[in-house]
Structure formats: structure tokens, C-alpha cells
Amino acid sequence: MTDHSGTGSASVLELLGTRIAGVRHQDLTHHGHTVFHTALVDTVGVAYAGSAAEGSRLTRAAAGPLSPGPSLVLGTADRVSALDAGLLNGVSAHALDYDDTNAIMGGHPSAVLIPAALALAEERGSSAGQVAEAYAAGYEAVIRISRAVGTSHWDKGWHSTPTLGVLGAAATGARLLGLSPQRCATALAIAASSAAGLQANIGTMVKPLHVGRAVREGLFAARLAAQGCTANPRALEEPRGFLDLYSGPGRYELAAAVPGAGDSTLEINRCSNTVKEHECCGSTHSALEAAIALHRKRRFAPEDVERIDIVVDRRCLPHTDRPVLPEPLAGKFSLQYVVARALLEGGIDSAHFEDEAYLSPRIRQLMNRTRVSVAAASWSGDVRVPAEVTVFTVTGGVLRHMAEDSPVGRTEVLHPPHLWEKFSQCVGRVVGQADVSRVVSVLERFADFADVRDATRVLEVCRPTERGRPGSPAAGRGRS
């Protein structure tokens, strides 16, 4: 391997490249296959629903004429190039902030990896097994680099999903293209120069755009590497490289990015993602569930409440401390908003983040009486950190509830009990019930497809329904 440092040792990206190039379908355990299939089902479902979101529509309109190709734009019947499909499906998968999360990444891995894998697999006529391999390869890159950057990356203000996800998309693309270990490393090095996404844009349509661009740039990096484009294999660890710039000198653990001696276990075989139960930022979920529990104990009216205190772990802030909402999407990232909704109405649904729902006078009254603070000591939680909500009533009453680290056990994280119900509800926003059943049947037996294009033909949406807004068939409709 090329050594840019003169030390004679392989770089982190070269070691990761070897790992990625060597991923085989048979290397995935039952756990690993379950992680992949759950991610596939959940991501396709939320991308269907997200395809009707305003941000998805605007992205497509701004992209201009799309290149015809074999890759499906989910939620439509349109076929475009893999790069264009990756962009649009990445935006749709993250548009509702309903996609899965990973505690190690501190972000959303599958909204990047699944659109990347499907788009390129359709172009190449890959099998379902090769899609699973590609997802596992991308997951390996994302989780290992996430272990290296730790929390410092997020603390600096980067949006982890695209900044780390673009490396995962590059790994996914490299594996599907069958690149050598050296060229896999090159794809990652190229992608490192495309890592972008500011937390300052969370709560706007730019957040899902971050994800779509990460998918596209990651796939483009893999293609560039396949063509022989060069890049520095030490782009991760060199001074002024990715880790120094995106985490800070001395604020990362380089060794965590590479497997130890004798460690052949893929990350997908030992990690899990969390499938969301609520259509809003995961950092608000514990507080939201605490508020739902309080609603079950007592039905509140705004005039009953003197003050609301929300205590969360520091990892949940500052991106969710939003007492003032400039637009509907911002409500998805506001502890004040989701807690007020849950206390008054017992839960959250998609209509609460649309149109002028965020301007409700009753909700704003409670938001104005809400105080958010950080727990005195860091609360640990592998899946989700806890939160405490306390309601002080005007009559002197105090009602308090603390949501635990995770409302479900490990088994339910790997096998979400409401996965197919959520999937059907999401797909049903765009197609009729008969088509929902058809799509469910395809994804249930996805592993059987020797050519993924045979599966995605069934996923095409040929007509809009009352709620759905599939895209115009003006872009390419070709199949291969």
C-alpha cells in the first residue's frame, strides 16, 4: 500500500479499505441480517412518506432536469441515474426525521446507506445479498469512524449524519463496485473532502438535504476511485486531516477506527439501530414519552399549568432547546413544543409539524411556561438517554415522570414490534391499501431476489392518492 507518511505502516483508511473490500454476505450473522433487513424496511417506508414532504418536492424542482437511468425515485414511478436517485431518496428518507438512529454514530445511518445501496444496486443489477453486503460495508465505516470521533465531532457543531454518513455511502458504493482494498481506501479519502452539514441548519429543510447530498457525494467518491482518481490515504489522521479538523487535535481516538488484532467481527453483527416511534428528533423522545405518561395520569388545560421543567442529558442539547419556532419543521426539534403537545393531547403525529399547527395559542402558552435544563450528572444510555418532566400546577400540585434509558428491551430494538405497522402507515400516505400489501410482500422476501430491480419494479408508484404527491414522470422511466 502507498505510504504518504514515510513510516511504512498502513493508514487507517487503508486498513478500513481492506475490511470493506472483504465483506461477504456469509459474514453476516443472524443479528447482522436482522439489522440490515430492519433498516431496509424502515428506511423504504419513511422515504415513501417523505417523498411527499415539501422539502423533497423543492429539492427535486431545484435539481432541474434529471439524468434518465435505472434507479427508482421512491414514492414515484420515475427512473433516474444512481446519483440523482441517491440525492432524492436520501432527502426523502430524512425529510420527516422518522428514520432510524444509532447511539454510537449520534445520527441516522440508514437514511444514507439504504438509498446509496439501492440506487447503485439497481444500476448494476446486483442481488439482494450484495445489497446487504454493501450496507454492512457502509455500516462498518460509519460505526468505526464514529467510535474514533466520539462526541467531540458533534460538540463542534457538525451534523454527524452527513459528515460521517458520506464516508459510509462511499464504502457502500465501493463494495457494490467490487473495488480493491486500495481503491476502497481512496473512495473514503475522496469522500472525506465532501463531509458537510451544520447543526445550525437543523430544524429546516436543509437537514434532510444534508443527507441527500451525503448519499450522492459518497457514491460519486466511489465512482471516482473506480476510475483511478487519487487521494491521500492518510486523509483521516494527518495534521489538517478529517479528524483534526472535524473533531479537533487530541479530541479523537484513532485506534478506535480500526479493528484490534484478531477482531474479525463486523460492526453490523454486534450493533443495532433504533427504529423511531415518533416523527421527531430522537433527542426529544424520552421527554416526549415522559409527557405522554403524565397526560395519562391527568388531562391538562393550559390554564392549569404554572410551569413545566424538562431535565435532559447534555447530549440532548442545545439542538432541542427551542422555545421559539420560526417554521413548522422546527417543532420536530423543540423539547418545549413536543412536551406541550403531549401534555395537552397525549401524543404527537405528523399534522403537528405541518402548516400553522406550530402557531397554536394553547401550545404557545405552555411553551412560554417551560424551562429546559441539563441533568447535574451525565445519564448513561446505550439506546436513548432518559429525561424528566415536571409539571407545577396553579393549585400547587406537582406531577413528575422520568422516562428511562429506553422504553424497550434489546430484543425489541433488534425486532421492533411495530415495524410493519409503521411501514404500512408510511407507505399508505402515498399509495392505496392494495399497493401497501404488494410492497410489504416484496420487502418481506427481499433476500430472495437475485436482481434487486425485480423488487424495485414492484415498489413503483404509478398514481398519486389523495395525500400523496409522487413526482412527475417527466424524468427517465427506463428500466434495465
Question: Does 190 map to a domain?
Answer: yes
Domain boundary among 269, 297, 317: 269
Tally the domains of the chain.
2
Contact status, residue 117 vs residue 131, Cβ threshold 8 Å: yes
Residue 259: asked if its preceding bond is cis (omega within 30°), the reply is no
350 shares its domain with 229: no
How many CB atoms within 10 Å of residue 129?
A: 18
Contact 169, 219 (CB under 8 A): yes
Task: Using the 3D structure, point to which of 406, 437, 453 is the last residue of a domain.
Answer: 406
Q: Identify whether the C-beta of residue 355 lies closer than 8 Å to the C-beta of residue 260.
A: no
Q: Are 137 and 20 in contact (CB under 8 A)?
A: yes
Same domain assignment for residues 401 and 291: yes
Residues 155, 227 within the same domain: yes
Tell which of 236, 269, 302 closes a domain.
269
Tell me whether residue 475 is in a domain: no
Say if residue 174 is in the same domain as residue 288. Answer: no
Q: Which of 1-15, 56-70, 368-382, 431-445 has the lowest mean pLDDT?
A: 1-15
Helices 206-227 and 82-94: crossing angle, nearest 10°?
150
For residue 381, the model assigns a pLDDT of 44
The reply to whether 419 falls in a domain is: no
- Cα separation of 472 and 115, whole Å? 20
Residue 238's alpha-carbon distances to 11, 15, 247, 306, 430, in angstroms, are 10, 15, 13, 54, 47
Is 480 inside a domain boundary? Answer: no
346 and 235 in a common domain: no
A 10 A CB-CB count for 270 gives 12
**Residue 28 located in a structural domain:** yes
Are 118 and 243 in the same domain?
Answer: yes
d(CA 181, CA 16): 8
Domain that holds residue 342: 282-406
> Considering the domain boundaries, does residue 305 fall inside one?
yes
Q: Give the CATH number, domain containing residue 117.
A: 1.10.4100.10
pLDDT tens for 414-450 read 788 899 999 999 999 998 888 899 999 999 999 999 9
Q: pLDDT of 86-118, one tens digit each?
A: 999 999 999 999 999 999 999 999 999 999 999
Backbone φ, ψ for residue 376 (5° rounding): -60, -40
CA-CA-CA-CA dihedral for 24, 26, 27, 28, to nearest 10: 110
CA distance 242 to 229: 19
| 339 and 198 co-located in one domain | no
Helix (H, G, I), strand (E, B) or coil at 387: strand
Q: Model pTM greater than 0.85?
A: yes
| Residue 310 maps to a domain | yes
Same domain, 249 and 288: no
Q: Assess whether 257 and 291 both reside in one domain.
A: no
Residues 65 and 110 in one domain: yes
One domain for residues 103 and 23: yes
Residues 223 and 309 in one domain: no
Dump pLDDT digits (tens) for 112-161: 999 999 999 999 999 999 999 999 999 999 999 999 999 899 999 999 99
293-332 pLDDT per residue, tens: 999 999 999 999 999 999 998 888 889 999 999 999 999 9
